[in-house]
Amino acid sequence: MSTRPIDDRVVVVRPACMADRAALEELAALTMPGVHTLPRTRDKIEAAIVRSIASFAADVDMPSEESYLFVLEELTGLGASASSRVIGTAAIFAAAGSNGTYFSFRNDVIQQVSRDLNISHSVHALTLCSELTGYSQLSGFCLQDLAHAGLEAALLSRARLLFAALAPQRFGDRFFVPLAGITDPDGQSPFWDAVGRKFFQMDFLEAERVIGGARNRTLIVELMPHYPVYVPLLPGAAQAAMGQIHPSGELPFHLLTEEGFEADDYIDIFDGGPILQAHKQALRSFTGSMLRRVAASDPAPPEAYESAMTYAIATGTGADFRAVIGCCAALEAAPEINLPQHLQQALGVVAGESVTCVRI
In tens, the pLDDT along 208-241 reads 777 766 665 666 777 788 889 999 999 999 999 9
Residue 341's identity, in one-letter code, is Q
Please give the average per-residue pLDDT across 35-49, as a whole number: 84
Cβ 100 vs Cβ 217: under 8 Å = yes
Q: Please write down the long-range contacts of 62-67, taking CB distance under 8 Å and 24 or more positions apart.
A: 62/169, 63/94, 63/95, 63/98, 63/136, 63/169, 63/170, 63/171, 63/172, 64/94, 64/95, 64/98, 65/94, 65/95, 65/98, 65/99, 66/93, 66/94, 66/95, 66/170, 67/91, 67/92, 67/93, 67/94
Q: What is the pLDDT of residues 50-100, one digit of tens each?
A: 999 999 999 999 999 999 999 999 988 756 567 899 999 999 999 998 777
What is the structure's pLDDT at 316? 97
Q: Which residue has the higher pLDDT, 219 or 313?
A: 313
Q: Is residue 6 predicted with pLDDT exceeding 60?
A: no
Please give the average per-residue pLDDT across 308-322, as a whole number: 95
* Predicted structure pTM score: 0.90
Q: Is residue 207 predicted with pLDDT exceeding 80?
A: no
Q: Is residue 3 predicted with pLDDT exceeding 50?
A: no
- Which residue, 176, 182, 181, is CA-closest to 139? 176
Please give the average per-residue pLDDT across 327-337, as a whole number: 87
What is the structure's pLDDT at 267? 96
Report the chain's mean pLDDT, rounded to a whole number.
Answer: 88
| Phi, psi values for residue 194, rounded to 5° | -85, -25
Which of 97-106, 185-194, 259-268, 294-303 is predicted least confidently? 294-303
CA pair distance 316, 314, nearest whole angstrom: 7
CA pair distance 205, 203, nearest whole angstrom: 6
**Does residue 166 sit in helix, strand or coil?**
helix
